Structure 1
Amino acid sequence: MKRILLGGIIIVSMVFSACRDHSKQSSEKSDKAAQVFPEPVEVKVIKLKKGIFENRRYTNGIIKSGRKAVVSFPMNGILLEMRAYNGKWVKKGEIIALLDTIEATVAIERARMQLERTHLLFLDNLIARGFDVKNLHNIPLDVLENSKIISGFKEAEINLEEALNNYQKCFVRAPISGIIAAMDNEIHGQITLGRQLCTIVDNSNLQVYFKIFQSDVLFVRPTTMVDIISLSDKNACSRAIIDYISPMIDENGMCEVSAIVTHNNCHFLTDGMHVKVSINTVHSNALILPKQAVVFKEDKPVVFVVKNGQANWTEVSIGSENDHYYLVESGLEPGDVVVIENNAWLGHNATIKVVDTVAYSY
């Protein structure tokens, strides 16, 4: 009886072991089948084509007035009156300061008296030489000039002209139209020749100066429009047109550029102001790649190109970029279909299922 029971247990154990081995083999076959025939990844794609690519580059710049004049006192004297003040707009030729004219007036009277005295000596010299002074136009010019020099009449004419000029210097006038700045002088104070009176800035003739990378020089040219943005208020924006691009690159790989301000909206720009400059460049007939199509593998840009239901790993060379697109330099061709969604974890030759073909949104 014991032998029969023991034999039954052995038979049951053998049957159970055989069933377990069969189940394990079936599971392994199922796993292998799953590996050979994986579930396709659902993706969205886009068909590449050429179009217009707009790119914005930003740099810092400084505003400078195209017309700015430093006004200095043209002579020594006493400051009698200030007819302008900081912030005042003045016209060219307008009197902005007045020096005491007493000494200048006396000098004019003295010069006139000298002129009258030497004029008599001039006529006496001609009479002594036998000429009719009532008809000076009949006397040779060289004789007249010689008599003026001998009599001192020529020098007296020059002295009177100088005295009149010095009198006019008492009235300091604006050399250009613009806004008064840096005016700081005391009335009735002693003024010396060359002392600075003020600076006049013409904010109607502004330029912006900035630098760009040497790689960007190819994308700008004279007449290219740029936007000028306030550092404190991004809504304060003006426009300028590039008028000069330096033919030289400095040691830092930068190129100097200047642009003439064409629209000073709200008049927020002024001389010496630091601003942000936005340069908008346009590339026509460019191959454009959506940014979401690019995956970086080991710091290299990679795109998955769809071929025969599979995603092929393709390295690309990309250039400029804007908010939504890259400019393709090499690696792709118009008509290529690339994955733009669910591409982060794709492997080379992964099986995919296209669920949507997206159109360009520019």
Structure 2
Amino acid sequence: MSTSKLGYTLAGTFLAFTLAAASPASAQDAKQAPQAKVVGMDSVRVEPLRQTVPVIGRFVPHQTGVVAVRVAGPVDKYLVRVGDRVKAGDVLAVLVDNSFNWERNRRKADVESARANLQTARASLQLLDQELKRLEGLKESPAFSPARLNDKLQETIRAKSQIGEAQADLASAQADLELGEIALANTKIRAPYDGVIIERHSEAGAYLREGEAVVTMLDDNDLEIEADVPANRISGLEPGRSLKAVVEDGTELNAVVRAVIPNENPRTRTRRVRFVAEYSGTIKSAAANESVTVYVPAGEVQDVVTVSKDAILNRGGAQLVVLNDGGKATFTPVQLGQAIGQRFVVLSGLKEGDEVVIRGNERLRPGELIKNGSEAKKDKAS
């Protein structure tokens, strides 16, 4: 074997031995190196905050009240029960209408009689006109009588007046017939608007006088919010402004100012404000007089530091957040204020731009290495 071949063989053996010896150590070091935990993070930021005060209001309907009978008579039957939903024009109850039917028929006969009298008066006038023309044609004849001509002229004037009377009688009879038709139609009590029957005031067989209540209705499809707002909070409630409102079951909605009633209660120093209720998502079925809390502005807008609610940990009565301090978990106590949606106002302990852990913070220990989950996904994708 040559010297050069022997040198290559020794060098190869030494290199293989060196790699074999180094490999277990390198694997062991890699195994012992600490790994950063992947967590979700969010930044502390500044948001505008307007102080509000809660005002208790209630849902009120645009339309509600009794439906009254328009003609007197006994009730034949009711077609609705309490709780039934009706549309405008639906028949709610029916009065006994026999007398109204016959009264309508009598007035219809009066119209026919008045129309016949008018035709008779017109025929009489036509006959007098013919006689008058014949008399005027005899003016050059010895048989002409001026007195008779004057009599026919007066009779013609009277006939024209009789036609006017007959026309007036016909108009009066037609008006009476129309009133009879209206009275007959009013024996059917109809719903004046869409709504729900909330009370019946009589039963079949009862006699109702004109104007007495038949049912009480409520339109629950178009409810507004009415709240008695302190007078010193009215200045910020211009029409069209949207406020937060919450009903008793926790459903949130927008209350848009429609009108401020210019009438102040001197005892409570409040004014009534009407709001239009705007629901987001699934529409809730509200009820008249249901309570709703409206949050009315109480001051000017302020910029405040806020943190996500998911970042807060409660440990031993203290409120903590896990702060990302250069890739290490640092537990920091914080003092919190009121909630703004899904965030808390930070009174002390954090500043704008701080990164806090919002997912996986419950399992972390102080000083543990952490890494933002969104950044880890970016690194993996690249």
Coarse TM-score class (shorter-chain normalised): 0.5 to 0.7
- Give the counterpart of 2:276 among 260, 264, 284: 260
Question: Which residue does the alignment assign to 1:65?
Answer: 61
Distance 1:66 1:360 in 2: 49
Query: What's the CA shift string for 1:20-60, capped at 9, x where partnerless?
Result: xxxxxxxxxxxxxxxxxxxxxxxxxxxxx985113332111
Match of 1:128 among 124, 127, 132: 124
Aligned residue type for 2:242: M
Gaps of 5+ in 1: 1-48, 133-140, 291-321, 326-339, 342-355
Q: For the residues of structure 1 that align with 2:202 and 2:353, how far apart are their CA atoms?
A: 65
Question: Per-residue deviation at 1:144?
Answer: 5.6
In structure 1, distance between residues paired with 2:89 and 2:72: 21
Residue correspondence of structure 1 range 108-127 to structure 2 within 5 A = 108-127=104-123
Letter in 2 for 1:323: Q
Partner of residue 256 from structure 2, selected from 238, 241, 248:
241
What letter matches 2:185 in structure 1?
Q
Deviations 1:148-167 (A, max 9, x none): 12xx3222212211111111
Aligned to 1:88: 84
AA of the residue aligned to 1:108: R
Name the structure 1 match of 2:194. 177
State the partner residue of 2:15: none
Residue identity matched to 2:270: M
**Equivalents in 1 of 2:52, 2:353: separation in Å?**
19
Alignment TM-score, normalising by the size of structure 1 = 0.58
CA distance in 2, matches of 1:67, 1:163: 30
Indicate conservation of the 8 Å contact 2:94/2:187, yes or no.
yes
Shift of 1:246: 3.7
Q: 1-side partners of 2:221 and 2:108: how far apart? A: 45
> Where does structure 2 lack aligned partners over 5 or more consecutive residues?
1-44, 129-159, 307-336, 341-346, 355-382
Residue-pair matches, total: 243
| Residue equivalent to 2:103 | 107
Aligned 1:158-237 pairs, distance under 5 A: 158-231=175-248, 233=249, 235-237=250-252
* 1:117 partner letter: S
1:300 alignment partner in structure 2 = none
Per-residue CA deviation, residues 146-202 of structure 1 (Å, 9 max, x unaligned), is 4312xx322221221111111101111111111111213111221111110112211
- Determine which of 72, 75, 100 is the counterpart of 2:71: 75
How many angstroms apart in 2 are the aligned matches of 1:57 and 1:78?
55
Q: Say if 1:269 and 1:227 are closer, same or farther in 2 by CA, change over 3 A.
A: farther
Q: Please, what is the CA RMSD of the aligned residues? A: 3.4
Look up the SS of the partner of 2:66 in the other structure. strand
